[in-house]
Chain A
Amino acid sequence: MFNTKTIRGREQRTAWILIVPALLMLLFVFGYPILRAFWLSLFTQNLGTRLQPVFSGFDNYSRMAGDGRFWQSFWVTIIFTVSSVVLELILGLAIALILNQKFFGRGLVRTSAIIPWALPTALIGLAWAWIFNDQFGIVNDILLRLGIINTGINWLGDPTLAMFAVIFADVWKTTPFISILLLAGLQSISPDLYEAHSIDGATPWQNFRQITLPLLLPQILIAMLFRFAQAFGVFDLIQVMTGGGPGGATEVVSLYIYSTVMRYLDFGYGAALVVVTFLLLILAVAIASLLLNKLRARTSGTT
């Protein structure tokens, strides 16, 4: 396969020897399960078939089209993803701008700003469930003391409020990730640019609009791409905080897939759900990377 007589050929062989172990590992844990899901999705394999796979073509997919619970979980996922990513982006940018200022104790503040990101999501879910607790939660207590409400609110028991609570917890947990990336971006912008712009009489807002934002755009897009994928597949936070409830109000697609497989033991249908989620994710990634490439081409073209 490799011509070992030439230096280039030997280099190629060495390269592949070094890569193959990692590659096999990736194929084993990522490649196989995805392909397997495609294959399994063509079979009915549930309690009705005594867990034996029976070929059923695209039955699982047509079932999905009429599955109200799937569509609801799909919309819940979209609402969760879009609202948390947008909020995180705004808040993350604000925090990055603040952390980029000069102030006393900056190192320590930056450290504390990373902490939410580093902690286990499942445990954070427990913490937030306690904060939003209907009887003893601190949120209710604060609102009662401020006189905003008269009786405690059942945050996690109301469909809309439960959604609000999980989005809030997710924003808290993952905003630091965005601020870290954006802060790195901010630090790579040369201060000379602002100076020159200010001499031309630009206001801070114009500085932000005309220098900061355009130069930060690649980082913003990358952060959004990562966060979009993660939020789209969110599992632990919601599983721990609400378990998808009340009445499926916070049941995102991943929770639906999980209970389809683990509770109803419907492997074929679960696999079909995985395939659709996978394809949607790939589609989103393709669009995002297309945008990113266009952007890169434009910025490198002008400079």
Chain B
Amino acid sequence: MTATPEVVSTTPRQAGGAKIPWRKILTTIAVILVVIFCLAPVMWQVLTSFKVNEDIAAVPTVYFPTRYTLDHYIELFVRRPFWRYILNSAFVSIVSTALALTLGAPASYALARLRPWGGKVILAGILIVTLFPGILLFIGLLEIIQQLGWGNNYLALIVPYTAINLPLTILVLRSFFEQLPKDLEDSARVDGYNTFQMLWQILLPMTLPALVTTGILTFIFAWNEFIFALTFITREELKTIPVAAAQLGGASVFEIPYGPIAAATVLGTLPLVLLVLFFQRKIVQGLTAGAVKG
């Protein structure tokens, strides 16, 4: 910022004493821009959620409000069953994550180590399936759910969420099993373990870090899912946060409750922000293992 023309003119002389660290300055500016780009929209929603209604609807916009309020949050819990939404989201996400790991871990071990007949075809299928958007599945699933009478039942979400998370689970865990030293299994066999005992008693404890990595990702995906939750659940007490928040409406189109919507956004994103803060490294590991190694 304090660039004097004199210094600029000496740049060709590499060994200049007072050389401005351009690279460092540019990097710093770029880093600040990245942080603003990534966080500003979220921060704006956080700020909105604490503003009083007059400040929310003020023109020109109030950037630094003098009054703050918790009313919008209180309204969510008093006038709507927001606890239920949170519990629903948490329940569905946790159960489907557990199921995806339970089904995915053995399958990924088999695909990594036991060279099953047709394994390559299954893997290719799994890879393709990760690319399917939910819209391709919802008509068929809707029929199944109607036939089984699963409408307005947690199962209508748990089963599809488990399945849409299985491909990623299998890909990430498979790449983990492939990296494990084979000696371990060989010595377990020498000690008389069969495959199931070995998986359960020896490999599973070692897999714990990978299971956590995968579990975080599947939890995020389940928590964020929208189209199935919108279609298969219509009862208010069973709705998940994304759907409930998107359906927050006022008495009329002209009366959109911006404050409560912002508060709902904050509450619905908070668990995920915490996950990212604590498990940033694992999330990155899992995503790259799932996408690149596959």
Interface residues of A (CB under 8 A from B): 11-12, 14-16, 18-19, 21-23, 25-26, 28-30, 32-37, 40, 95, 98-99, 101, 103, 107, 109-116, 118-128, 130-131, 133, 135-136, 138, 141, 144-145, 172, 176-177, 180-181, 183-185, 218-219, 222-223, 225-226, 229-230, 232-236, 239-240, 253-254, 257-258, 261-262, 267, 270-271, 274, 277-278, 281-282, 285
Q: Is the CB of A138 within 8 A of B61?
A: yes
A12 to B115, CA, bound (A): 8
With A19-B116, A235-B133, A236-B242 given, is the CB distance from A119 to B269 under 8 Å? yes
Chain B nearest CB from A166 CB (Å) reads: 14
A35 to B195, CA, bound (A): 35
Q: Is the CB of B139 within 8 A of A180?
A: no
Q: Is the CB of B35 within 8 A of A109?
A: yes
Closest residue of chain B to A144 (Cβ to Cβ) is B60
Which residues of B lie under 8 Å from residue A226 when comparing CB positions?
Answer: 130-131, 291
Chain A nearest CB from B185 CB (Å) reads: 12
Q: Is the CB of A120 within 8 A of B242?
A: yes
Interface check B7, CB cutoff 8 A: no
A238 to B230, CA, bound (A): 14
Q: Is the CB of B226 within 8 A of A22?
A: no
Q: Is the CB of B44 within 8 A of A119?
A: no
Pick from B60, B131, B224: contact of A281, CB under 8 Å: B131
Main secondary structure of the interface of A (DSSP, over half): helix
Chain B nearest CB from A95 CB (Å) reads: 6
A110 to B285, CA, bound (A): 13
Pick from B35, B224, B292: contact of A121, CB under 8 Å: B224
Pick from A28, A114, A222, A235: contact of B291, CB under 8 Å: A222
With A18-B114, A109-B31 given, name 20 new contacts (CB 8 A).
A14-B110, A15-B110, A19-B110, A21-B107, A26-B129, A30-B129, A36-B140, A111-B276, A114-B276, A120-B269, A122-B243, A125-B246, A126-B45, A126-B265, A138-B61, A176-B38, A222-B291, A278-B132, A281-B133, A285-B128
Which of B39, B57, B140, B141 has the most chain A CB within a 10 Å cutoff?
B140
Interface check B215, CB cutoff 8 A: no
Pick from B34, B230, B243: contact of A98, CB under 8 Å: B34
Which of B24, B115, B231, B292 has the most chain A CB within a 10 Å cutoff?
B292
Q: Is the CB of B60 within 8 A of A145?
A: yes
Which residues of A lie under 8 Å from residue B246 when comparing CB positions?
Answer: 122-123, 125-126, 239-240
Q: Mark B52-77, 1 if CB is under 8 A from A, else 0.
A: 00001111110000000000000000
Which residues of A lie under 8 Å from residue B280 when comparing CB positions?
Answer: 107, 110-111, 114
Q: Is the CB of B226 within 8 A of A236?
A: yes
Q: Is the CB of A30 within 8 A of B137?
A: yes
Interface residues of B (CB under 8 A from A): 24, 27-28, 30-31, 34-35, 37-39, 41-42, 44-45, 48, 56-61, 103-104, 106-107, 109-111, 114-117, 119, 122, 125-126, 128-144, 159-160, 162-164, 166-167, 170, 195-196, 199, 220, 223-224, 226-227, 230-231, 241-243, 245-246, 258, 261-262, 264-265, 268-269, 272-273, 275-277, 280, 283-284, 287-288, 291-292
Q: Is the CB of A101 within 8 A of B27?
A: yes
Which residues of B lie under 8 Å from residue A185 when comparing CB positions?
Answer: 292
A141 to B220, CA, bound (A): 33
Provide a sorted-by-A list of 28 A–B residue pairs whose CB atoms are within 8 angstroms: A15-B119, A18-B109, A19-B106, A19-B111, A29-B137, A29-B159, A98-B31, A112-B38, A114-B276, A116-B41, A119-B224, A120-B223, A123-B241, A123-B264, A123-B268, A126-B261, A128-B41, A135-B59, A138-B61, A145-B60, A176-B38, A184-B288, A218-B292, A219-B292, A232-B133, A233-B136, A274-B139, A282-B128
Q: Is the CB of B103 within 8 A of A32?
A: no
Q: Is the CB of A127 within 8 A of B268?
A: no
Which residues of B lie under 8 Å from residue A36 when comparing CB positions?
Answer: 139-140, 143
With A26-B126, A181-B291, A254-B133 given, is the CB distance from A119 to B261 under 8 Å? no
Pick from A14, A15, A172: contact of B37, CB under 8 Å: A172
With A15-B115, A144-B60 given, is the CB distance from A123 to B242 under 8 Å? yes
Pick from B117, B226, B231, B284: contact of A122, CB under 8 Å: B226
Q: Is the CB of A115 within 8 A of B276?
A: yes
Which residues of A lie under 8 Å from residue B287 when comparing CB positions?
Answer: 177, 180-181
Chain B nearest CB from A271 CB (Å) reads: 6
Which of B106, B167, B170, B241 has the most chain A CB within a 10 Å cutoff?
B106
Q: Is the CB of A120 within 8 A of B241?
A: yes
Which residues of B lie under 8 Å from residue A271 when comparing CB positions?
Answer: 139
Which residues of B lie under 8 Å from residue A118 when comparing CB positions?
Answer: 220, 272-273, 275-276, 283
Closest residue of chain A to B46 (Cβ to Cβ) is A127
Which residues of A lie under 8 Å from residue B224 when comparing CB positions?
Answer: 119-122
A278 to B144, CA, bound (A): 20
Pick from B136, B264, B277: contact of A111, CB under 8 Å: B277
Which of B57, B110, B220 has the most chain A CB within a 10 Å cutoff?
B110
Q: Is the CB of A12 within 8 A of B114?
A: yes
Sorted nearest first, the 4 A-B pairs with minimum C-beta distance are A233-B133, A33-B140, A29-B163, A15-B116
Q: Is the CB of A274 within 8 A of B135?
A: yes
Closest residue of chain B to A254 (Cβ to Cβ) is B135
Pick from A18, A25, A95, A285: contact of B162, CB under 8 Å: A25
Chain A nearest CB from B222 CB (Å) reads: 10
A99 to B284, CA, bound (A): 13
